[in-house]
Amino acid sequence: MDREKVASKIHWKKIIWLVSIINPLMTLPQLIQIWQTQQTAGLSLIFLSILLFVQAGFSLHGFFTRDRFIMFSNGLAATMTLITMSSAIYFRSVN
């Protein structure tokens, strides 16, 4: 069985569509917690920087390969990560 048949059998387009929705929401719980508690202890800006780099890289990959799901999903995810990082830096400077 070739990969196209496997993708069809497991409904890969639906799976990747779901992943594309979940991806930008991945950092939302962290962002909500930061804003509710104003605590950033245990939050690694190095990890978030690497995550931002990976998400931006995949967003650019989506742009260059004309894959809208990858481009928009990772672009939104990178935006959420950037907002989370900015919030953490803000609350670390205020407290």
- Quote the domain boundaries for residue 16: 3-94
Measure the CA–CA gap between 59 and 69, rounded to whole angstroms: 9
- pLDDT of 95 over the 80 cut: no
Measure the CA–CA gap between 61 and 66, rounded to whole angstroms: 8
Please give the tally of structural domains in the chain: 1
Q: 3-state DSSP call for residue 59?
A: helix
CA dihedral 26, 35, 43, 19 (to 10 degrees): 0
Closest CA to 23 of 49, 50, 47, 58: 58
**pLDDT tens across 12-62, in order?**
989 988 998 999 999 999 999 999 999 999 899 999 999 999 999 999 999
Give me the CATH number covering residue 37: 1.20.1280.290
